[in-house]
Amino acid sequence: MDNPLLHDASLPAFSAIRPEHVEPAVREVLDENRRALARLLASGATGWNGIVEPIERMQHRLARTWSPVGHLNGVANSDELRTSYNACLPLLTAYHTELAQNPELCAAYQQVKDTQYAQLEPAQRKLLDNALRDFRLSGVALEPQRKQRFRELMERLATAQAKFDENVLDATNAWTRGVDDEAELAGLPAAVVARARAEAASNGRDGWLFTLDAPNYQAVLTHAESRGLRQEFYTAWTTRASEQGAAQWDNSALIEELLALRHEAAQLVGFGNFAEYSLATKMARDPAEVLQFLRRLARLCRPAALRELAELEAFAGSRLEAWDVGFHSERLKHERLAVSEEELRPYFPLPRVLQGLFAVAQRLYGIRIEARTGIDVYHPDVAYYDILDADGARRGGFFLDLYARPKKRGGAWMDECVGRIRLDSASALPVAYLVCNFTPPSGERPSLLTHHEVLTLFHEFGHGLHHMLTRVDFPSVAGINGVPWDAVELPSQFMENFAWREEVLPLISGHIESGESLPLDTLRKLQATRSFQAGMQSVRQLEFALLDFRLHAEFTPQRGSRLAATMAEVREEVAVVRAPPFNRFAHSFQHIFSGGYAAGYYSYKWAEVLSADAFGAFEESGVFDAATARRFLGSILERGGGRDALEAFVEFRGRQPELEPLLRQLGLAA
């Protein structure tokens, strides 16, 4: 069978790819890679060219085969494709575990490091260091029995994490609240009420029926005038999957088990606790640095947060409980700032925003962005663009897929289509997917964005530039690959800053009828929303981050998690809004118990500090200052994961990262 996933063309043959191509292609590449690896190790090949380059090529081939599959599964889903996709996941996991736990391969990399390190260029050294670190984190060096135990722990962790998720989902789905008296709905947006009406009808009852999904929960807490209704939703939401609900969905025991499994796995591969294990792949050096960072930021944000709460209580005229804060905040915000996201849409027609975004990137980095037609795309709404250097040489490209449609996953993201590789035996330019879910155009009228959506586009484009402008030749440290989790949001959040600036506004805004750009006084109001209750929002994030980090750093098998005590201590130290004693937030904290943020939730704030500080250099020299932009390009964007993230930052900024610029951006500076 001719399999389009196995073609060696520079871009995927999307129109030819069918679900039945997926598993055979993946099996074939995995088999070929396995045979090639066996041949390689048997041949006694050594050195960078003999060992590392062939492995890079193999990984590149696998990534290229799999990338269109994963992408289509996200943006053009079907039952058949999902089945094929799911069938491949265990094959890929098994293959990656095999590689990561292969002691001969690890020894071969070690030998390259021992004999050639001094002659290699920095990106090559970084690649070797990362690879050897990852072998160690996978338990490659353990004696057979302990290696077996490590594998068991990983498998059990995967199952327990999935179960944690299921419990949250089932507990959430099991809760509903019926409303018969229309007066109880006062304040709620019409769309939310209509949805509850339809929900009731489809359940064969009169009145309204609310489920506990996030949009409903947010809407009730923000808009419902009924204090009783807000309290009920708050209670249901913050006790999900806890001992206060049905026993079969109680996550209490799973929390203990997850922390214990992670602790044991971390100790097996030589760390004191899971927090240390987590930091082995991150920019932050050690647990003390993370704790100090979070506590320092909390101390700086807390006075503002206390002030904001006092101001809010004065505005509301009473002491506020946790379920009152969102509601009164919304009213205060409306009264004070008088700016509505919805009303700004006509100023941001998508074609105009896109043109402005490209103009910003072109001006900053001396590149050209040009649409190319005749490319094989998977949907008529998808466009393809080339990125060219000033001299016209192709540097990379991207697929742009911006509109919401059925069978497409929600949210926005950047992903790798092709990674950059440049070796004697193989070469390819980087290609990205940029995906958003904006309202599609209707008739002649283009899609109109809220400012929040404009920020989303800038954010994803920032990730895209990181991937596409890389100069690194080895896929595993090119672009965003190999960049630590707590630094990977630097280029994306950095890019967002431009969409707040008055210098950039004329480029990205133009009223759909009059063509006039967003008035400056409206921009000022918009900018003020950025710092509205920034103190309270910051301490809330810091509370989650500190709880996550301390749970993973302080766990011992003798003492267990000390969940309730740690939560109480963290709240005492950081929080300003008083959580009621029944609050069991941790029982549905999916980021850390079932997502990838275990002992890593601090990354959000960490990257925010870096991006605000990096942008500070542009504020000092002018947002389009060519020299500053070229430095950012050369030190950060082009270097990908090929160098230490802190060194890269220091090279660009000329000093260590500082908190001040973020505090200034949020209006929290002293």
Question: Which positions lie near Zn ion, rule CB under 5 A?
Answer: 492
- Based on the number of CB atoms within 10 Å of its own CB, is 128 exposed (0-12), middle (13-18) or buried (19 or more)? buried
| C-alpha dist (Å) from residue 298 to 535, 580, 598 | 9, 21, 20
- Based on the number of CB atoms within 10 Å of its own CB, is 106 exposed (0-12), middle (13-18) or buried (19 or more)? buried
Find the radius of gyration of the CA atoms of the chain. Answer: 26
Closest contact distance (angstroms) between CB of 459 and Zn ion is 6
- Based on the number of CB atoms within 10 Å of its own CB, is 655 exposed (0-12), middle (13-18) or buried (19 or more)? exposed
Is 23:82 a contact under the CB 8 Å cutoff? no
The runs of H, that is alpha helices, within 317-414 are 322-337, 341-344, 350-365
CA 449 distance to own-chain centroid: 22
Listed in sequence order, the residues at least 6 apart from 90 whose beta carbon sits closer than 8 Å to its beta carbon are: none
Question: % helix / strand / coil in the chain, to the nearest 5?
Answer: 60, 10, 30
The runs of H, that is alpha helices, within 178-321 are 190-202, 214-223, 227-238, 252-268, 274-279, 287-316
CA 551 distance to own-chain centroid: 22
If the CB atoms of residues 308 and 460 are measured against Zn ion, the closer one turns out to be 460
Q: Phi/psi of residue 302, each to 5°?
A: -65, -40
Residue 438 bridge partners (DSSP): 403
Q: How far apart are CA 603 and CA 597, in angstroms?
A: 8
Residue sitting closest to Zn ion (CB): 492
CA 215 distance to own-chain centroid: 20
Q: How far apart are CA 152 and CA 373, in angstroms?
A: 50
460 is catalytic: yes
| C-alpha dist (Å) from residue 156 to 87, 265, 552 | 20, 11, 18
Catalytic residue numbers read 460
